[in-house]
Structure 1
């Protein structure tokens, strides 16, 4: 439950909206309860007095007025409440992404992609309406119940004590008991749902391998087991919630019978009229509406608490890379030096072992080697996405661990095989690297990447929307678009990580042959499996078994 309070500061900008929604919810419940009470009084009084001798206009107008108030309050409660909730969820998502970016790559390697997606989506959604569903009904129940208790104590003191005890049991004791019973189930539910989503995402990502290796039945069994676990937990939670709801109904009946019993005694004694008794009975029944809402919301509180704990856990992970306390200015220059650099993953696997490499300003080099040799890790260290355990990396003589990350990333740009093309216009995909770039500068970068004619031929040129994965362009054109974006970046050092992955040989050769001109006057480190064309004058090295050697 503490993790829910962790998000309390994010609620502050939306307090007025939620306060208005809660007030409208209270007005709705008061109007509904008053409507029942007045209707009971009106019908009973009419039946006893007769329509001829009874003034119908004032009571009927009151009933209609309360009906309209209840309808309008309910409508605006939903409107204001959902608006406040959506804005709060938007705030939580913004905060969460802001908290995660400095922590990327996440140090917890056990956090699967599917589980991360689940936390960023389902866990945030689990906080949906937690304020309105949990806090609102409780406040409404206590306010409305307090008013009803005061009326009963004034007219039927004996019934008032029973009503008050029943109300407190339904509004506080039962929800507290339900929270204790379902807390573990709620946490297990969130984990089971996350596991099921991870199974689905894993199956989608690995569909080809599952089919090729004949593991469809095994995958289906795992999915069925995860689904059954989730279903079993949901049934358990639903059973507990149903029992609590039944207990609330029993308490409502107890308060109803107490009011009716003592009310009939007062009626026989002549101290309470029949219409007033009918109004009290109906009012008592209506006042328990909020307690039913509390039970429904408490059933979700365990899941919301578990989701909040999962979000809190990833938002407070230690940063993989720490900014220097007193960053030094990065000197001008693009020379790079790896000095005795060693790196191993947390599982102990050594990837780089005492790497020494000097790259002159403006020099272009290519690094090859088998998969898993550590080529991408070398570039990640240069960008300080990770830090080596031993040795140092210097740019223009300055240790990059002493330099601010913003200054480092302004000097070094990365084009990887996974560089994304966003579901947006060509312009916005390019201007990600330099938002202030003019159309002329955008087309200059496209021309250098040999893509300007293709973009000019699109229906709306730079304002043409590209598909979610760039499906309006070929794979080779996508790589060139990412290259153009990298060229727009003011970075004087460019790291290329398998930029030709997925290209056919003809497109690959054309792409590689364009690099010297496209990246002239910049220092370039090209990591690739591709066979380089002979005419490409590069110093080539091979990384294998943690060592870097010149290619013969």
Structure 2
């Protein structure tokens, strides 16, 4: 529960909306209690009355109708206010989480993709309804129970204490017990859900290989195991909720029977009349409706507590790299130097060892080598997504460990093999590279990457919407959109990590052949498996953690 309290500042921002929702919820519950109590009194009084037509039915009828309308309007207002507040809280939660995720990049080595998706989606959603389904109903029930206790103390004093004990046991002790009993099952359900997502995503991504190498049974077994864990955890949650629900009903029955017995004694002593006793009994039944809702709320609260723990775990993870306490400026230019750099995800098995590299401003250099040799690690070192275990990475003589992250990423840009095209306009996709670029800048860079004629032919041109992940574009066009976005940045150094991934041979060759001219005047480092054309200044091959220079290959070889 401590993890939930850590999110208190986010909830505090919405205290006005929460208070309004709470008041409307209380009004809804109060109107329901009043409606049932007044109806009970009215029907009983009408049945027992000997006044005939002299009995005033209009005032109680008007009260019943008025309370009905109040309940309907308050319920509508509560839903409107509550869901608006929940959506705003969801926005704040995602902004809070993503702001803490960026310093942790890259995340792949810390969290599995399915686990990360679960944290970003299911865990956030478990928290965004926390007030609506848990904290709000608990607060409303407590206030309503206190008010009902006061009413009983005034009208039927002998029943007030009994009601208070049983009601608050139903709205506080039972939910707290349910949360404690369900905490482990709730955490297991969330963990099993993350494992199931991971298994399903892995099976989808590797479906072809699983079929070709007859690995389907293992994939089915993996997802089946996670599904069984999830099912077992949810059964435990359901069993706990059922027991708690039964306990609440027993407590409600005890309050009703106890009040009835006290009421009979008061009725015989002429301290209360029959219609009022009937109204109080029905009001008690209505008040316990709030306690029944809390069983569902407590189950959600247990899941929210586990989700909060997981979100706090990811948000408080140490950053992949530490920002310098007193960052130093970077001189102009694009000189890159790696001096005796060692790095390994497992320190006992370094990927690169005593690596030295010097690239002058304006050079276009290709780095090739087999998969797993450490080419992409060089890109991560240059962007300071990781720090070397030993040695120094320098930009224009400055040790990157002494440079502020935002300043470094303003000076060094990266285009990866999976750089996305977003479901948005061409203009918006390009301006990711430089948000203050005007239309002239956009057309200039589109001309440079030979995409201007294509964009001019689109309905809306720069305002044309490209499909999600660039599905309305060919692979080559999507790559060129990403290239244009990267070139639009004002970085002195541009790193291309497998920029031609997924392209056919001819498109790949043309793409690489144009890069030196497109990056003229800037330092360009191209990490690739493809044949490197002679237009590159140098080609370096990475093997066994070391770089050696070799000749570029003609485009047709």
Q: TM-score range by the shorter chain?
A: over 0.9
Equivalent residue for 1:343? 343
Q: 2:419, 2:266 → 1: CA distance?
A: 80
Q: 2:217, 2:498 → 1: CA distance?
A: 35
Q: 2:72, 2:360 → 1: CA distance?
A: 75
The question of 1:105 aligning with 2:103 is answered no
What secondary structure does 1:326 align onto?
A: coil
Equivalent residue for 2:377? 377
Q: Does the CA contact (< 8 Å) of 2:366 and 2:536 recur in 1?
A: no
Q: Does the CA contact (< 8 Å) of 2:363 and 2:522 recur in 1?
A: yes
Deviations 1:128-166 (A, max 9, x none): 321132222222222222222222223333322221221
TM-score by length of structure 1 reads: 0.97
> Mapping of 1:252-291 within 5 angstroms?
252-291=252-291
Q: Does the CA contact (< 8 Å) of 2:413 and 2:494 recur in 1?
A: yes
Q: 2:414, 2:168 → 1: CA distance?
A: 62
- Give the gaps of 5 or more residues in structure 2: 552-557
Distance 1:182 1:204, change over 3 A: same
Q: Does the CA contact (< 8 Å) of 2:195 and 2:226 recur in 1?
A: yes
Equivalent residue for 2:555? none
Equivalent residue for 2:543? 544
Deviations 1:221-259 (A, max 9, x none): 222222122112111111111111111111111111111
Calculate the aligned-residue CA RMSD, in Å: 1.4
What secondary structure does 1:422 align onto?
A: coil
- Mean Cα deviation higher: 128-137 or 330-339: 128-137
Q: 1:250, 1:7 → 2: CA distance?
A: 35
Q: Does the CA contact (< 8 Å) of 1:22 and 1:132 recur in 2?
A: no
Q: Does the CA contact (< 8 Å) of 1:364 and 1:523 recur in 2?
A: yes
Q: 1:261, 1:292 → 2: CA distance?
A: 23
Q: 1:315, 1:144 → 2: CA distance?
A: 37
What secondary structure does 2:459 align onto?
A: coil
What secondary structure does 2:342 align onto?
A: strand
- Residue 118 of structure 1, CA deviation: 0.7
Deviations 1:248-303 (A, max 9, x none): 11111111111112212222232211111111111111111111112210011111
Q: Does the CA contact (< 8 Å) of 1:542 and 1:548 recur in 2?
A: yes
- Mean Cα deviation higher: 347-356 or 388-397: 347-356
- Residue 343 of structure 1, CA deviation: 0.8
Q: Does the CA contact (< 8 Å) of 1:414 and 1:496 recur in 2?
A: yes
Q: Does the CA contact (< 8 Å) of 1:35 and 1:63 recur in 2?
A: yes
Equivalent residue for 2:123? 123
Equivalent residue for 1:232? 232
> Mapping of 1:145-164 within 5 angstroms?
145-164=145-164
Equivalent residue for 1:483? 483
Q: 1:154, 1:448 → 2: CA distance?
A: 84
Q: Does the CA contact (< 8 Å) of 1:329 and 1:403 recur in 2?
A: yes
> Mapping of 1:151-550 within 5 angstroms?
151-346=151-346, 348-533=348-533, 535-550=534-549
Q: 1:487, 1:146 → 2: CA distance?
A: 66
Equivalent residue for 1:65? 66
- Mean Cα deviation higher: 455-464 or 310-319: 455-464
